Amino acid sequence: MENLLRENRGLAWKQILSLRQYSTIVEYEFLALWQTKVQLFNSLVWLPILNPLLFGAGIGSFAPKNSDIFGTTHYLAFIFPGMVGLGFFRTFYQVIYRLTMDRRYGLQGLKIGTGVGVLSYILGNITLPSIMAVLQALVTMVVLIMLSTPIGSISNVVLMLGVGIISTWFWSVLAILISFSFKNYTQRDMFISLATLPLTLSSPAFYPLENAPKYLQILSLFNPLTYNIVALREAFLYGKFSNAFLFTALLTLLLLVWATALISKKEFVGSHA
């Protein structure tokens, strides 16, 4: 028999992580995603096909074939890491949506109150978005190959996906932290609509920063997505880990510790919900 105490300290740290609890959370995130087949179709089919096929090919038709500008002579190869990066970034608002609903309807309290460790909960919630982002990247790659884009070595692709998974975790954990600050859906939706567009457009997903106007270069320095995409591009084009990746990885770890500590101290109902 366990002696379970409810007192004004946070949750016991021994209940942080368990494989069984983690897999239950993943199972339920999958079931929820499966119910929203439109979103599934969008993520795995529509977006990764239309992006390169329409937008990428269109811009690429007049982009100069200059490896000094793009690091490669093929524009689509240049924007492939950018599209992948945006795909991984999309997990940011997906996790915000899912977690604010979990909190709003008491499910976060139900799961953690029933003993799901905080880390199991966090990792369980970020696993499926990571998998979806990787699958999306692979579908994009298949479309690019069909458009005769040079993909380079498989090892570079694998390295890029590995870097991408870390960036997904970064965005997902950041989303978890930010979701605690929303008091209602209006605030959540306002934040998402105001934040995602500038982050996307000021990142080097579709253009090299070196040729961009000065104000854009300065703005991009404050955009975490910039570092993600730079790291992805370094991995894909040159097969190396950049400082940007190391910075993202370290920041992800710090955010994970912070999120775990924060959730451990949270209350899940009443005036604090």
Partner 1 sequence: MDHRVKIQGLSKVYEPQKVALDNINAKLSPGTLVGLIGANGAGKSTLIHIIAGVLRPTKGIVQLQIKAPSSLAWVSQITTLDWYLNVLNNVRLGARLSGFNLRESYQLAYQAMELLNITELKHEDVEVISGGQQRRVQIARAIAQQADILLLDEPTIGLDYKACIHFMDYIRALTRQGKIVIISSHDLMLLEKYIDHVWFLNNGMLELNQPLEQFLAQSKQQEAREFVVHYQGELGEELLATLQNQGAQILQKNPLEVKLVSNLDTNELISMLLTKVRIQAIQPKVMGLAQVYKETN
CB of 44 to partner 1, least distance (A): 17
Backbone φ, ψ for residue 150 (5° rounding): -70, 120
CB of 103 to partner 1, least distance (A): 11
What's the chain's length in residues? 273
Please report whether residue 42 would count as binding partner 1 according to CB under 8 A: no
Site for partner 1 in 1-20 (CB under 8 A): 1-9, 15, 20
Query: Residues 58, 113, 162, 198: which binds partner 1 (CB under 8 A)?
Result: 113
CB of 128 to partner 1, least distance (A): 12
The rounded distance, in Å, linking the Cα atoms of 84 and 47 is: 11
Query: Residues 46, 105, 185, 238: which binds partner 1 (CB under 8 A)?
Result: 105
Q: Report yes or no: 41 and 183 within 8 Å, Cβ to Cβ.
A: no
Q: Report yes or no: 251 and 170 within 8 Å, Cβ to Cβ.
A: yes
Q: Provide the token pair at 99.
A: 């977690």
Please report whether residue 114 would count as binding partner 1 according to CB under 8 A: yes
Please report whether residue 38 would count as binding partner 1 according to CB under 8 A: no
Query: In sequence order, what DSSP letters do the residues of 112-177 get, joined into one string?
Result: HHTT--HHHHHHHHHHHHHHHHHHHHHHHHHHHHHTT-----HHHHHHHHHHHHHHHHHHHHHHHH
Query: Residues 16, 47, 49, 101: which binds partner 1 (CB under 8 A)?
Result: 101
Site for partner 1 in 252-271 (CB under 8 A): 267-271
Local structure of residue 236 (DSSP, 8 states) = I
Please report whether residue 110 would count as binding partner 1 according to CB under 8 A: yes
Question: Which residues contact partner 1 by CB under 8 A?
Answer: 1-9, 15, 20-21, 24, 27-28, 31-33, 35-36, 101, 105-107, 109-116, 267-272
